[in-house]
Structure 1
Amino acid sequence: MQIADDLKKLRNVGPAARKDFAVLRIETVSQLAECNPDELYSRLQSETGVAHDPCVWDVFAAAIHQAKTGEALNWWAFTPVRKARQQNGTF
């Protein structure tokens, strides 16, 4: 299965993230590199009808960053960005 082979190579993409990407029809790293974490997070909530933990955005941001740049940062490196946006109302 391509999704298991391609996306599984990314540092922060475990079974839960792969399930989310399947819901979002993201199957490859190259597809992911074209994505925006805000858009994916919003779409995931719309598609599932469930409010997801904001940390899911952090995982999406980290995975997209790695897909675009090759740099594998831990998902929590993106948490301060999200929290700052939450405080100023842009998240």
Structure 2
Amino acid sequence: MGTPKLPLTDGERKRLREAKIKLAEVTNYSPAQLSVSLNVPENRANTLIALVQFQNVPSIGPKLAYNLVELGFYSLEQIKSGGESGAQLVERLERLHGVWMDPCVEDVMRLAVHHASHPGSDKQWWDFTTERKAYREQYGYPADRPSKAWHELRK
């Protein structure tokens, strides 16, 4: 995995350097430990740890890692124990944002669910495209799915 991208303030970045903590090593710390090192609230430390953990999954980048945190997940174990499918996760994300997401976002959500149950898997998001298409062909989308597309938010 490459170096994770985190939404750090200048102060947080400086305190990480002072504590000699590399971004990729953030998951080696508990939220309490990281909170002290960065002088941030524990929930902020927990979010940063989650973002790194999710970005360690092949083909999950910073934005999709943040989407998982938005859905209330701070670890792959929480995704696993939550029992939701990738389809359910993307449907929740769409309701949260009020727009329908690019179909590949569902592929990434399916990937996250897979990796939560199969740590160390080398599957990528595109390995779930056929599964998503078959599922949507059979079940479609919820009746209350937002009608506006994600890319219309930028306009």
| Aligned amino acid, residue 75 of structure 1 | W
1:44 is the counterpart of 2:93: yes
**2:75 aligned partner:** 28
The alignment-based identity, stated in percent, is 28
**1:59 aligned partner:** 108
**2:133 aligned partner:** 83
Larger Rg: 2
Deviation at 1:81, TM superposition (A): 1.1
CA contact (8 A) 1:12 1:63 kept: no
Q: TM-score, normalised by structure 2?
A: 0.53
After the TM superposition, which segments of 4 or more aligned residues of structure 1 sit over 2 Å from their partners? 85-88
Deviation at 1:53, TM superposition (A): 1.1
CA contact (8 A) 2:51 2:66 kept: no
Local SS of the residue matching 1:78: helix
* Larger RCO: 1 or 2 (CA < 8 Å, sep 6+): 1
Structural RMSD (CA): 1.5
Alignment gaps of 5+ in structure 2: 1-47, 141-155
Alignment gaps of 5+ in structure 1: none
Deviation at 1:54, TM superposition (A): 1.5
Looking at structure 2, the residues matched to 85 and 36 of structure 1 have their Cα atoms a distance apart, in angstroms, of 11
2:66 to 8, 12, 19: 19
Looking at structure 2, the residues matched to 15 and 32 of structure 1 have their Cα atoms a distance apart, in angstroms, of 17
Partner deviation per Cα, 1:4-54 (whole Å, 9 max, x = no partner): 232221112111211211221111111122332121111001111111111
Q: How many residues get paired?
A: 90
Q: TM-score, normalised by structure 1?
A: 0.86
